[in-house]
Every structure is written in structure tokens, then in C-alpha cells.
Structure 1
Amino acid sequence: MKLLSRAGLTICLTMLPVSVALGAPTYLSCSFPNPPKEPQIFNFALDASSGTLGVHVPETGSERKVRAVFGASTVTANEGFVAWEIDLSRRAVIRDKRMVGEKDRGACKDISAEESGFGQ
């Protein structure tokens, strides 16, 4: 039986909190400028353990879940008509409105599951 080296053990122990953290979704509320109207708000549920991104629109109550790709500090999802790129380190999002060929940027903040509006 081969034992882990000290470096290998350190790496395993360092990764442990990451794998535990993957169990709970992260919730974000992102605001997109929409002059002269109020900003557009989208709430996101980022669930790395299931590989999905939930999208909730508080204004209309619509909600959907799509497949997502989770990187070290980004999450991307393609819904066909719109693609999302969320930068977790900067708490920012890019919305690519593919049907009209426009991109815009939003600012995000952490929110709780209750504040997100999912499943309500």
C-alpha cells in the first residue's frame, strides 16, 4: 500500500473545503442598467454540484434552470437566445443577447436563498 506524501496530503486537505462548499448553491442578484427605466434585475442560483445555473427574474416571476460550466472563478451558461458569463471574483456578469447581437454588463451581490425568489 502506497502512502500519500506530505505534499499530497496537504493538497487533499486543502481541497476538502472546496468539495464541501460545492454542496450548497451560491445566490447572486445582478443589476443591469436600463436607462431611463429602473435597472433590470436577474437572480442566479449557481449550483456547481449539479452543474446548473438557475435564472429568476423578480419583475415577472419567471424562473428556469440551465446547464452551466464552472471554472475557477467563472460560470458560463448558454440558453441559446442569451448566454451568461459570471465572474465570481469581481461579482460581475456579462449578458450576451445573441438574437440581437448585443452584450451588456451587470454588477452582482450575494443574497440568501430566501431573497433569491427561487421556488416561490
Structure 2
Amino acid sequence: MTSTLVAAAALLVAGSSAYAAPTYLSCEFTSPSGKPQIFNFALDASAGTFGVYVPATGSQRTAQGTFSDGKASLNEGSVAWEIDLGKGAIIRDKRMVGEKDSGACKPITAEESGFEE
């Protein structure tokens, strides 16, 4: 029984450490003009933060996000984001104009993300 508890505790510690480091993603949406729109994200489930960086403008912001069931989401009021981490897919809900679109995400390094420490 004790070895089972030790193994379970080790699994919990190992699982929680996987969330210790932020995950960086680059996500691409296709615009009507055909030129891709790129957004980079810094997701930190342990801190509950969701960072958004727009390489085209240099705009960067971080807010409290929601993390559950392999998904990360952020509601910024006029725009809401939902990233399915397992599928590498993102949905952008442009609430002010009533449109939704989707894109694809790939992992990137912290250096590639553009986020300033």
C-alpha cells in the first residue's frame, strides 16, 4: 500500500512540474487577403496567465486565462481565444463583429516568441 502511495505522489509531482514552464506557441490565421496573420502565445498554466504577442505590430499583453481539459482560453472582451493544446488548433471569436475563425498552432521557443521577460 505504501509503495502505491509513493508512486502516486511521484506521478502527481511529475505531472505538476510539466506545467511549471510556460508553453510558447505561434498560431496562424488566413486572412481574406490570403496573407497569414500570426499571433504568438505564452501560456503558463501554473500562474494562470495567457500572453498574446502580435509580431506585425509588436503589441504584447498578458492576462489571467483559463486552463482545463488540455485547453487554454482567454476572454479579452472584444476578442476571445481558445487553444486546443493537444490538436494544435485555435479559435478566435471576434465578438465585436460577430465572427469566428480558426487557425493552426505550432510550438516555438521562448526566444522565438517575441515576449520580453
Q: Same fold (TM over 0.5)?
A: yes
- Aligned-CA RMSD value: 1.5
Gaps of 5+ in 1: none
With the length of structure 2 as denominator, give the TM-score of the two structures: 0.92
Indicate whether 1:9 and 2:6 are aligned. Answer: yes
Residue-pair matches, total = 117
Aligned to 2:93: 96
Gaps of 5+ in 2: none
Q: Which has the larger radius of gyration?
A: 1
With the length of structure 1 as denominator, give the TM-score of the two structures: 0.90
Indicate whether 1:35 and 2:32 are aligned. Answer: yes
Give the share of equivalent positions with the same residue, in percent: 56
Shift of residue 5 of structure 1? 4.3
Shift of residue 8 of structure 1? 3.3
Q: Secondary structure at the match of 1:80?
A: coil
Q: Give the alignment partner of residue 68 of structure 2, picking from 65, 68, 71.
A: 71
